[in-house]
Homo-oligomer: A and B are copies of this chain.
Amino acid sequence: MKNNLKVARIQVNLTQQQLAKKVGVTRQTISLIEKGKYNPTLKLCLEICYAVNKTLDEIFWVDKGE
């Protein structure tokens, strides 16, 4: 479950803590998502995208098989 969240988050200058607050989850959830150890829900993915100004494809898309 790899993704580009960490880079995008840093681009908009947010700590995990700040992003977590913005999207309404805990810091741990953000940390685990960045580490690829979580399978977040669509709603959370969307809220994260809004917070870092990216689309789903830009942050969460992974090609089949990879």
Q: Pick the contact of A41 from B42, B55, B56 — CB < 8 Å?
A: B42
* A56 and B50 contact, Cβ closer than 8 Å, known pairs A41-B39, A41-B41, A41-B42: no
Q: Give the copy number.
A: 2
Q: In the assembly, what is the distance between CA of A46 and CA of B63, in Å? A: 9
Closest to A59 in B: B56
Contacts of A45 in B (CB 8 A): 42, 45
Within the complex, the shortest CB–CB distance from A6 to chain B, in Å, comes to: 16
* Interfacial residues of chain A within 27-63, with CB under 8 A of chain B in the complex: 39-43, 45-46, 50, 55-57, 60-62
Contacts of A56 in B (CB 8 A): 55-57, 60-61
